[in-house]
Amino acid sequence: MAAQYVSVNGGLVLADDAKIGVSDLAMHRGYGIFDYFKLVDGKPVFIDEHFDRFFNSAREMHLDTGLNRTQLRSTVEELITMNNMPASGVKLLLTGGYSEDGYKMGVPNLLVMQYPLNFPKENALESGLKLASYNHVRQLPHIKTIDYLAAVRLHPFLGENGLDDILYHKNGIISECPRANFFIVTAREIITPTSNILKGITRSKVLGLNIDGYRVVERDFGLDEMFSAKEAFITSTTQYALPVTMVDGKTIGDGKIGTVTRQVRHQLYKLI
Write out the residues near a copy of itself by the rule CB under 8 A: 2, 6, 8, 18-32, 34, 61-62, 91, 93, 95-96, 100-105, 111, 113, 115, 118, 136, 139-140, 145-153, 155-156, 179
Q: Which is nearer to a copy of itself, 115 or 227 (CB)?
A: 115
The residues near 13 (Cβ < 8 Å, ≥ 6 apart) are 5, 6, 7
Q: Which is nearer to a copy of itself, 76 or 226 (CB)?
A: 76
The number of residues in the chain equals 272
Other Cβ atoms within 10 Å of 36 Cβ, number = 19
- Judged by DSSP in three states, 49 sits in helix
Other Cβ atoms within 10 Å of 68 Cβ, number = 9
- 203, HSE (Cβ side, Cα atoms, 13 Å): 21
Q: Which is nearer to a copy of itself, 136 or 199 (CB)?
A: 136
Q: Which is nearer to a copy of itself, 40 or 149 (CB)?
A: 149
Q: Which is nearer to a copy of itself, 18 or 173 (CB)?
A: 18
Nearest approach, Cβ of 45 to a copy of itself (angstroms)? 19
Buried b (16+ CB within 10 A) or exposed e, 214-240: bebeeebbebeebeebebbbbbbbbbb
Other Cβ atoms within 10 Å of 70 Cβ, number = 8
